[in-house]
Chains A and B, each alone.
Chain A
Amino acid sequence: MNDQNSIVEFRGVSKVYPNGKKALEDFNLTVHPGEFICFIGTSGGGKTTALRMINRMLESSSGQVLVEGKNIMDQDPIDLRRHIGYVIQNIGLIPHMTIEENICLVPKLLKWPAEKRAARARELIKMVEMPEEFLQRYPHEISGGQQQRIGVIRALAANQKIMLMDEPFGALDPVTRQKLQELVHYLQKDLKKTIIMVTHDMDEAISLATRIVIFDNGHIIQSAPPQEILQHPANDFVRDLIGEERLNEAQVTLATAQSVMLTRPISTTAEISLEKALAKMNHHHIDSLIVVDGDQHLIGELDIAQVIAHRNKLDLRVADIMGPAPQTVFDTDLLSSVYQIIIKRRLKYMPVVNHDRQIVGIITRSSLAKVLYDYVWGQEELEHERSDRHD
């Protein structure tokens, strides 16, 4: 059962520290080339342990870790580490080496010729938009954000395919952090690096990761793309970790028409008389009816105004006077786009259809109001909590 398409794979890995603490238990994870994995969770949850096992900075108590299909225990740890990029929070640039020497550390260990190393250093510093003169400076002569940018490019100087990052941007201010996030995003997206990053910043994980792996107590709680985690948090732990605010926001921005529509809309067939249609409207306290055929396909719309106009001929059939079918949305459409259409066109409601174009529900202005209310109400709840804490 060798997954040919994996670049890093954990197979039933456990790690027990000498003091008996279990950092990881029966941990399984397959990382595919080009993925951006974020490990997130409580401290002591095992995320850093798992990360450091990939380049044998820690060794598993049982189970196997495979890098590019090969068991890492069969490889020389020194050689393994030289082929995996490693970035840590405190940067770890060597203070008595110039920026160039720092960038070329691994290429030098791999015995690249001097000209090739120098060319690589110039190429990389250009990539992070820093002047070439910086190559001759020492780490303490450049800013913290610049140092960490060097830390990041140092980890790929020898064309490493995999980059491990342990809370790389935790100590940086928000503006600098964002720039670095853009850089690593570029590395993954355009240079096709496989990045595995430990972070405690949920926003960072959501914006960068192609998959978020949530840790608690040495176990994976959930492993899924950010959208899925936001929409379907596995349990309360994940919900807490994401935070009420983000969940509410996600509910609005990521919710689909299906999640808020009213199911079983009041509809009618085209064959019944106006009298019966009017009775139906009255019974359900509504002012219009959607008209469907036998297969639940939308064929038209009957408004109370049309009925009034024909109030003397109530024996007519609906089909004789109904208007054209109103605009519809798919049940998988994002609520945000539905919302825009309803507001801009001043529609009272929109029928929701599935991909066979059958009616499955409707969204009314009042259902939007409810979503918005839930969102605002959720926010206020948080505000209250916050002000409570200040008191």
Chain B
Amino acid sequence: MKEVIGMISFLNEYGSDLLLKTWEQLYISLISLGAGIVVAVPLGILLTRFPKTAKVVIAIASMLQTVPSLALLALMIPIFGIGKFPAIVALFIYSLLPILRNTYIGMEGVDPVLLDSAKGMGMTGWQRVWQISLPQALPVIMAGIRLSAVYLIAWATLASYIGAGGLGDFIFNGLNLYQPDLIIGGTIPVSILALLTDFLLSKLERRLTPVNLREEGEDDEN
């Protein structure tokens, strides 16, 4: 009972703030993710046409991934100052690699026989990309997007450090004030947000998966 009462009083006190911060967390992540998809998916597709360049670009993206997240956020301050924008840029950079790599691998992994017969029937290069490779590669691309999404939602917490707001505000306040309820109150929504996003994206992934790659029993869900 005590816990429930504690929770209710916490929500009474911080409820509206919590909603606002959760919303901030979500939209910082989603905007970065959206920008990441818009850049990385076409880039990944394009790279399949230039395999040599692809290696270089993926190496660069991997390198960016190794920069510690806090350091990357800090590096944004001299360039973009503080606030939401630099946070979004930093998170966007993080989203690139998983999406780019999965797009590239997914496109490369399409059965060459399929592409050969499509070419032999007179499909143009772009028709093959749009009508064959992309649909076949979608599950792999979606896996990259899901991975990015979960990471970004978690890492967006750190964005609070450079003044971007979000649930990180709760956690860092809790740390500074020795108030565990603030830390927990900030952490739980982050986890829920990450899990929920992953779940929704997995639903989307199933819908987008071409029929031949769907596992047994999934058909009747639609």
Cβ contact within 8 Å between A94 and B118: yes
Cβ contact within 8 Å between B114 and A92: yes
Cβ contact within 8 Å between B211 and A96: yes
Cβ contact within 8 Å between B136 and A96: yes
A86 contacts across to B, CB distance below 8 A: 117, 120-121
Known contacts A94-B114, A96-B211, A139-B212; A55/B120 CB under 8 A? yes
| Residue in chain B with minimal CB distance to A82 | B122
Out of A90, A105, A138, name the residue touching B121 (CB < 8 Å): A105
CA distance A329 to B118 in the complex (A): 56
Mask, B118-136, CB within 8 Å of A = 1, is: 1111111001000110011
A81 contacts across to B, CB distance below 8 A: 119-122
Could you say which interface size class chain A belongs to?
Answer: 20 to 34
Cβ contact within 8 Å between B116 and A92: yes
Interchain nearest-CB distance for B30 vs A (Å): 28
Residues of chain B in range 184-222 having any CB-CB distance to chain A below 8 Å: 210-213
| B113, CB-defined interface residue at 8 Å | yes
A55 contacts across to B, CB distance below 8 A: 120
Residues of chain B in range 168-196 having any CB-CB distance to chain A below 8 Å: none
CA distance A80 to B122 in the complex (A): 7
- For B, the interface residue count at a CB cutoff of 8 angstroms equals 20
Known contacts A78-B122, A82-B122; A96/B117 CB under 8 A? no
B211 contacts across to A, CB distance below 8 A: 95-96, 138, 140
Interchain nearest-CB distance for A79 vs B (Å): 7
Cβ contact within 8 Å between A138 and B212: yes
Out of A88, A90, A140, name the residue touching B120 (CB < 8 Å): A88
Interchain nearest-CB distance for A176 vs B (Å): 19
| A109, CB-defined interface residue at 8 Å | yes
| Residue in chain B with minimal CB distance to A89 | B113
CA distance A140 to B131 in the complex (A): 18
Out of B118, B124, B212, name the residue touching A96 (CB < 8 Å): B212
Known contacts A109-B127, A138-B212, A140-B211; A94/B132 CB under 8 A? yes
CA distance A359 to B124 in the complex (A): 67
Cβ contact within 8 Å between B212 and A57: no
Cβ contact within 8 Å between A57 and B120: yes
| A31, CB-defined interface residue at 8 Å | no
Cβ contact within 8 Å between B113 and A92: yes
Interchain nearest-CB distance for A52 vs B (Å): 8
Mask, B98-119, CB within 8 Å of A = 1, is: 0000000000000001101111
Spell out B's residues near A (CB within 8 Å): 113-114, 116-124, 127, 131-132, 135-136, 210-213
